[in-house]
């Protein structure tokens, strides 16, 4: 699979292959010629430290350098991506969630750290958090109510000034003050972020009535999920927006100061290009010791997956974060230098669990027998073969629970204890028996079962255009018909769908009886974080609920366990609690996972660059398959080399 292209293949043949794989028209990928951006000379302030107590501030005006045209980037210096950016960038404001800037801004457990940086980097492969801006591991106090860490003295902003503890503290204060997404998400768990001295940060957890941290897992998650932003620039942002939250979050922040290895070079409606900062502090021996290999990170904006797949096959894309149907065809049938993290199915590491939720207030779906009958009747092998083209582990390989397929999570519950509750699908006779024993039968001979005198009839829904989800929902509907439950399908546009599903302060409307949403992937809070998303009743009643439990399931014992787990440190007790949660989930079936899916899809073409991460590549720590820009996967940018021609 890793072998080089042995013969020159006709692009017409490759395009025809992709037509059969993607079942969509083959577009021609033509780079739009745009006007070259005006070169600007930026005045830069650099702090020069002297071996005396005071500092000398030197103003430097760098000489302008002629940059390559953004439409004709040097191929041997440019790493091309797809699957992240699906429309023009709005702006560069890291405080905002609406910049549509996928190459530069994405906070979360595997935060995107191309332009803005977090104190630590999470590694989904070993579950560890590695220092980035931070200097060494963070430390808990004995009561687990405070985290302390130091910052690297080498860490610098793009204007040459040091990254300090004041920057960390002011970033948090700003999130809280303007109720940003980060502030809203963490303010119930973090009391303060304090700068003890220029290098030392203390994060104090919010305490419960017993004087214990409300949730130490979330406090630990904060340090690898959220950017540190410059205090001086933030104050400038506040000033020009009159301390108005709406204006501040809408500011496009073209002047933003950053600490990461890349920054804006060019963007329009055809592509986004980041350029390396060759003065990046990370080349200091205390971090990477060198610069990342590509000078440019470029993302062409494709109209759909089919266009992106053609570009991947043609070597116009190096790293693909999109669903490439039947990707194995590229190397098995055509010998292309395309590969995935795993050489065989499922080709990637399943980390998230796309899930079918039940509207628990719909007639009949308040009955466990109906919910479980549908769930065990579904043909999951067909979903994996067709919707995912085998890019998912099977439920025979990884029995269903609340855990993703990673070894660390699979070890956190007792599989034998729940074995009798698990199912692999296609159990039509078992489903019929469940319904019959519950007295849910077809009494009028029309082929459909009734409950309390009313026919069981449901609509299964997911967003239009999400082809893999739509294929899965069709298979769910087919399962219903096999057991006497009438299930039809409906595919509203995402703009409508997300508004309905995320409104948890009202019952779900007709047409949303069975519906698909995702579950959380990897991160320092998992698997607790995922179970909290799927089952915690506190998400019910929110007018805008992007967190989870969209079917509005309530179980006091589940809530009790979810509250207890974050403070528990005994592995045996944790395993017992997780096992109990899995038992409840598989017994009550408030929702059911349809497939395992990678945190991010990760496929590479080695026509130009090589050295991408793959299982068993010997890197230590291992580099995860997250496209070389998320969390610890950015380490992969330092391992890339040009292919020898």
Where on the phi/psi map is residue 545: left (φ > 0), alpha (ψ -120 to 50), or beta?
A: beta
- pLDDT score at 467: 81
Q: Residue 621: is the preceding peptide bond cis (ω within 30°)?
A: yes
Question: What is the per-residue pLDDT across 78-90, written as a single tens digit (0 to 9) for each?
Answer: 999 999 998 899 9
For residue 100, the number of C-alpha atoms closer than 13 Å in the C-beta half-sphere is 12
Say what the pLDDT of residue 35 is: 29
Contact of 442 with 496, CB cutoff 8 Å: no
pLDDT band of residue 1 (cuts 50, 70, 90) is: very low
CB 84 within 8 Å of CB 94: no
Q: Are 332 and 326 in contact (CB under 8 A)?
A: no
Q: What is the pLDDT of residue 355?
A: 97
| Tokens found for residue 437 | 């024993």
Three-state DSSP class for 221?
helix
For tokens 């303010």, name the residue: 187
Judge whether residue 157 has pLDDT over 90: yes
* Average pLDDT of the segment spanning 473-496: 95
Helices and strands counted in the chain (H then E): 17, 26
- pLDDT, residue 389, reads 93
CB 50 within 8 A of CB 58: no
Q: Is the pLDDT of residue 42 over 60?
A: no
The pLDDT value recorded for residue 527 is 95
- CA 386: distance to chain centroid? 23
Question: What's the rounded Cα separation, in Å, for the pair 119 and 318?
Answer: 28
**Tokens 């530069």 appear where?**
104
* Percent of all residues in the chain with a pLDDT value above 90, rounded to a whole number: 80
The per-residue pLDDT of the chain, averaged, comes to 89
Q: Is the pLDDT of residue 62 over 80?
A: no
* Alpha carbons 308 and 612: distance in angstroms, whole number: 19
Query: What is the Cα–Cα distance from 130 to 243, expressed in whole angstroms?
Result: 35
| Reported pTM | 0.83
* Plot region of 401 (φ>0 → left; ψ -120 to 50 → alpha; else → beta): beta
123-140 tens-digit pLDDT: 999 999 999 999 999 999
Predicted confidence at residue 70, as pLDDT, reads: 67
Q: Is pLDDT of 219 > 50? A: yes
User: Which tens digits make up the pLDDT trace of 533-567?
Assistant: 999 999 999 888 888 999 999 999 999 999 999 99
Residues 561 and 567: beta-carbon distance below 8 Å:
no
Per-residue pLDDT, averaged over 66-72, amounts to 66
Q: How far apart are CA 643 and CA 313, in angstroms?
A: 17
**Other CB atoms closer than 10 Å to residue 91's CB: what's the count?**
19
Long-range contacts of 278-286, Cβ-Cβ distance < 8 Å, separation of 24 or more: 279/156, 279/158, 279/160, 281/152, 281/154, 281/155, 281/156, 281/163, 284/152, 284/154, 286/135, 286/152, 286/153, 286/154
Residue 289 has pLDDT above 90, yes or no: yes
What pLDDT was estimated at residue 546? 81
Least confident of 29-38, 152-161, 517-526: 29-38
Domain boundaries, the chain: 356-598
pLDDT at 54 exceeding the cut of 70: no
pLDDT digits (tens, 9 = 90+) for 498-543: 889 988 888 999 899 999 998 888 999 999 999 999 999 999 998 8
Residue reference for tokens 């000034």: 161
Mean pLDDT, residues 33-39: 30
The SS3 assignment for 572 reads: helix
pLDDT the model gives residue 16: 32
Rounded-to-10 torsion of CA 529, 534, 539, 545: 90
- pLDDT level of residue 67 (50, 70, 90 thresholds): low
Q: Is the pLDDT of residue 25 over 80?
A: no
Q: What angle do CA 174, 107, 260 make, to 5 degrees?
A: 85
Q: pLDDT per residue over 427-480, tens digit each?
A: 999 999 999 999 999 999 999 999 999 999 999 999 987 888 999 999 999 999
Cross-strand partners of 180: none
Using alpha carbons only, give the angle 156, 157, 163 rounded to the nearest 5 degrees.
60
pLDDT at residue 96, rounded to an integer: 93
Axis-axis angle for helices 556-564, 528-535 (nearest 10) = 150
Architecture of the domain whose range is 356-598: Roll (3.10)
Q: Does the structure show a pLDDT above 90 at 364? A: yes
Asked if 598 contacts 352 with a C-beta cutoff of 8 angstroms, the reply is yes
The Cα–Cα gap between 81 and 73 comes to: 14
pLDDT of the residue at 421: 98
C-alpha 46/C-alpha 60 separation (Å) is 7
CA–CA separation, 332 and 347 (whole Å): 13
Of all residues in the chain, the percent with pLDDT exceeding 70 is 89
Query: How would you list the strands of the sheet with 190-197, edge to edge?
Result: 139-140, 146-150, 200-205, 190-197
User: 313-328 pLDDT, tens per residue?
Assistant: 999 999 999 999 999 9
């Amino acid at each position: 699979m890793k072998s080089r292209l042995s013969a020159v293949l006709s692009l017409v043949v490759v395009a025809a292959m992709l037509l059969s794989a993607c079942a969509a028209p083959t577009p021609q990928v033509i780079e739009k010629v745009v006007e070259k951006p005006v070169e600007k000379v930026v005045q830069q302030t650099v702090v020069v430290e002297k071996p005396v107590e005071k500092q000398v501030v030197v103003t430097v005006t760098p000489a302008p350098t002629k940059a390559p045209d953004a439409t004709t980037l040097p191929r041997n210096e440019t790493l091309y991506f797809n699957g992240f950016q699906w429309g023009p960038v709005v702006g560069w404001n890291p405080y905002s969630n609406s910049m549509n800037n996928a190459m530069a801004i994405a906070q979360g457990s595997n935060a995107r750290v191309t332009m803005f940086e977090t104190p630590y980097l999470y590694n989904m492969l070993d579950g560890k958090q590695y220092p980035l801006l931070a200097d060494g591991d963070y430390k808990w106090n004995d009561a687990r109510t405070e985290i302390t860490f130091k910052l690297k003295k080498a860490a610098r902003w793009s204007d040459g000034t040091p990254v300090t503890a004041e920057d960390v503290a002011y970033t948090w204060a700003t999130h809280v003050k303007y109720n940003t997404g980060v502030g809203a998400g963490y303010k119930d768990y973090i009391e303060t972020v304090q700068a003890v001295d220029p290098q030392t940060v203390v994060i104090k957890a919010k305490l419960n009535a017993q004087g214990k941290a409300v949730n130490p897992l979330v406090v630990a998650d904060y340090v690898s999920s959220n950017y540190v932003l410059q205090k001086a620039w933030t104050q400038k942002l506040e000033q020009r927006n009159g301390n108005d939250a709406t204006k501040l979050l809408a500011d496009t922040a073209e002047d933003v100061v950053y600490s990461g290895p890349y920054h804006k070079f060019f963007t329009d409606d055809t592509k986004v290009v980041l350029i390396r900062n060759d003065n990046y502090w990370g080349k200091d021996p205390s971090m990477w010791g060198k610069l990342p290999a590509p000078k440019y990170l470029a993302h062409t904006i494709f109209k759909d997956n089919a266009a992106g797949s053609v570009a991947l096959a043609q070597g116009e894309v190096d790293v693909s974060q999109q669903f490439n149907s039947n990707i194995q065809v590229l190397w098995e049938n055509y010998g292309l230098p395309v590969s995935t993290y795993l050489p065989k199915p499922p080709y990637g590491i399943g980390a998230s669990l796309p899930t079918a939720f039940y509207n628990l207030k719909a007639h009949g779906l308040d009955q466990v027998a109906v919910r479980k009958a549908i769930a065990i009747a579904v043909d999951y092998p067909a979903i994996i073969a067709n919707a995912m083209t085998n890019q998912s582990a099977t439920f025979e390989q990884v029995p269903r629970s609340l855990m993703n397929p990673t070894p660390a999570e699979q070890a956190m519950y007792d599989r034998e204890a729940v074995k009798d509750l698990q199912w692999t699908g296609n159990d039509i006779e078992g489903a019929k028996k469940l319904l019959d024993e519950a007295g849910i039968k077809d009494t009028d001979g029309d082929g459909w079962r009734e409950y309390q005198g009313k026919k069981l009839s449901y609509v299964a829904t997911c967003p239009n255009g999400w082809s893999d989800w739509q294929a899965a929902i069709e298979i769910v509907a087919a399962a219903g018909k096999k057991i006497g439950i009438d299930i039809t399908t409906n595919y509203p546009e995402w703009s409508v769908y997300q508004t309905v599903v995320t409104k948890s302060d009202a019952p779900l409307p007709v047409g949303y009886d069975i519906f698909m949403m995702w579950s959380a992937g990897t991160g320092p809070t998992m698997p607790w974080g995922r179970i909290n998303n799927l089952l915690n009743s506190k998400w019910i009643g929110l007018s805008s609920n992007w967190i989870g439990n969209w079917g509005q399931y309530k179980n006091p014992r589940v809530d009790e366990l979810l509250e207890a787990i974050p403070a528990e440190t005994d592995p045996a007790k944790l395993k017992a609690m997780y096992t109990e949660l899995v038992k409840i989930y598989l017994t009550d079936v408030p929702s059911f996972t349809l497939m395992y899916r990678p945190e991010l899809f990760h496929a590479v073409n080695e026509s130009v660059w090589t050295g991408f991460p793959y299982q068993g590549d010997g890197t230590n720590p291992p580099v995860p398959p997250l496209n070389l820009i998320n969390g610890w996967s950015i380490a992969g940018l330092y391992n890339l080399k040009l292919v020898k021609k």
